Amino acid sequence: MSCLVQCRKDLGRLLHLARQVELRPAPLVSEHAVMAEIAASFAGNGGSTLLYVVGEDGVLKGAISLADILRYLFFYQHDPYSPPATLRQLARTESAAGFMRRALSVRMTEEVVDVLEKMTAAALTECAVVDDNDRLLARLSMTDLVHYYRQVQNRCSDAPEEWLPPGVSGAAPTAPDSGRNP
């Protein structure tokens, strides 16, 4: 059995990961949220650099990156031709729909290996988890994937060497308890 086939078998679907790793709620705003609401959501979202935009029905519409918002705000703040009144006006009128980009989303039925490949290909450190109707359920980070992988690897510490990633031999080293649910 090839390493990739065994890895798929061991890691399973995202649903298995969700049972082992507590997925965090996704920070979100309405597609009609204005800049002041967007900034407040970023300030209170627990360190995520993405803010997910949802419609009234909870369907994922896109995502806003913190970097895009900061570039936008600092452009106007440092533009000598933009009076302070312009900034106040932007904070009241610019909506989330105007800032959002397409968001990478995954479903609980997807294979963990496929999710990792999608996130890596898109150079993202987190993505949205949605249901079959594209309603936002949670966010999944690369850290969640690494944590889950280590749990699986520890369970399979007697796995044949060919099942382990290149450069890894034997059982995974133990790390101090991170406080996450096992």
pLDDT digit string, tens, across residues 32-55: 998 888 888 888 877 788 999 999
Torsional class of 58: left (φ above 0), alpha (ψ -120 to 50), beta (otherwise)? left
Q: Could you give all domains of the chain from N- to C-terminal order, each with its CATH number?
A: 10-158 (3.10.580.10)
pLDDT digit string, tens, across residues 137-176: 999 999 888 888 888 777 666 555 555 455 545 444 444 4
pTM for this entry: 0.70
- Describe the strand order of the beta sheet including 50-54 as a list of residue ranges: 28-30, 50-54, 60-65
